[in-house]
Amino acid sequence: MSDTNDSQKIIDCPHCGKAISATSEKCPYCQKEINQQPEQSQEDNKTKKLNIKKILFIAYAVLSVFVILGLYNSLSSAKMRNENLQKKIEAYQYDIDDYKDTIKDLKKQLAEKEDYESKYNELNSQLDNYKDQQATINDQNNKLTEIQSQYDSLQSERDNLQQQVDAKKAAEEQAARAAQQQQWEQESQSNEETVYWVAGGECYHSSPNCATLKRSSNIVSGSVSSAGGRRPCKVCH
3-state secondary structure of 222: strand
**Dist CA 117 CA 127 (whole Å):** 15
**Dist CA 23 CA 36 (whole Å):** 10
* CA-only gyration radius of the chain, Å: 80
pTM, entire model? 0.28
Contact 24, 34 (CB under 8 A): yes
- Phi, psi (5° rounding) for residue 24? -75, 130
pLDDT digits (tens, 9 = 90+) for 36-80: 544 445 566 677 777 777 878 888 888 888 888 877 777 877 788
**Dist CA 148 CA 140 (whole Å):** 12
Q: What pLDDT does 45 receive?
A: 66
Q: Using CB atoms within 10 A of its CB, is residue 213 exposed (0-12), middle (13-18) or buried (19+)?
A: buried
Q: What is the DSSP letter of 27?
A: -
Return the number of other C-beta atoms located less than 10 Å from residue 194's C-beta. 14
8 confidence band (pLDDT: 50, 70, 90): low
pLDDT digits (tens, 9 = 90+) for 90-137: 888 888 888 888 888 888 888 888 888 888 888 888 888 888 888 888
Q: What is the DSSP letter of 193?
A: P
Q: Which residues pair with 17 in a beta bridge?
A: none
Which residues are within 8 A (CB) of 29 and not within 5 positions of it... i.e. 6 or more apart? 13, 16, 18, 20
